[in-house]
Amino acid sequence: MKPDEYRRMFEAEETQWWYAGQRAVAHALLEPALAARAGGEQALGILDAGCGTGGNLVHLARLGRAVGADLAPEALAFCRQRQVCALRARLQALPFADRSFDVVTSFDVLYHAWVADDEAAVAEMTRILRPGGLLLVRVPALRALWGAHDEAVLSRHRYTRPELRALLGAGGLEVVRLTYANSLLFPLLLARRTLDRALHREGSDVSFLPAPLEWLFRHALLAEAALVRRGVHLPIGASVVALARKRLSP
């Protein structure tokens, strides 16, 4: 991302409606899968690949031993402010041994212009997963939503659900859950992005809305998270989220 975006992310990541709501959706996919795993004494090893300013690491640390990796020095500086463990690394060349982690997460990273080869990135995240380990991936969805925000955060691509399924399958992963997210607000988002293109608006969408809208939009995503936790797959949305498992044998 452009450097100014990291400060916006740092300031918004804990409470702003999109971050809080999308985090709830992600955990609605991940936590039931972890609960179904055989119990053990050892804490889960978790990597957030492309951790940004570290907000997700704070929450992932409640599930196990969480570490982050990101290429941007600006992001890692904010991770240090949050006092979370993160190191500098490219997604396509993670400095970890094979089969090092039980869980790898990647929130809005594969779409980025710095990830020129998303297949190589998925292969690398799969490499460091233990057999039976889980990969949770979220990417922006649908080219129709391309707008000024994508330019500001250096987007390379917006995905469809079939594209993400194919990408993970090609990496040797078994897709367990796959759903769109940010669905209830999709008509508003589509209208906003269409207007942005018509008006040639510039800049990202990372900002706080008036308090009533923050509450409304956050609770729309919390409602989606509740549906996802019950096994519902949402048919359209501004993001697409997948939970995949590394096969126990090749």
pLDDT at residue 2, rounded to an integer: 65
Return the minimum-mean-pLDDT range out of 37-41, 74-78, 121-125, 223-227.
37-41
17: pLDDT strictly greater than 70: yes
CA dist., res. 204 & res. 235, Å (int)? 26
pTM above 0.85, yes or no: yes
174 DSSP β-pair partners = 245
The pLDDT tens digits of the residues spanning 76-90 come to 999 999 999 999 999
CB–CB of 122/105 below 8 Å? Answer: no
Joined together, the tokens standing for residue 57 give 């690491």
CATH topology of domain 3-246: Rossmann fold (3.40.50)
**pLDDT class of 1 with cuts at 50, 70, 90:** low
pLDDT at residue 91, rounded to an integer: 92
Domain boundaries, the chain: 3-246
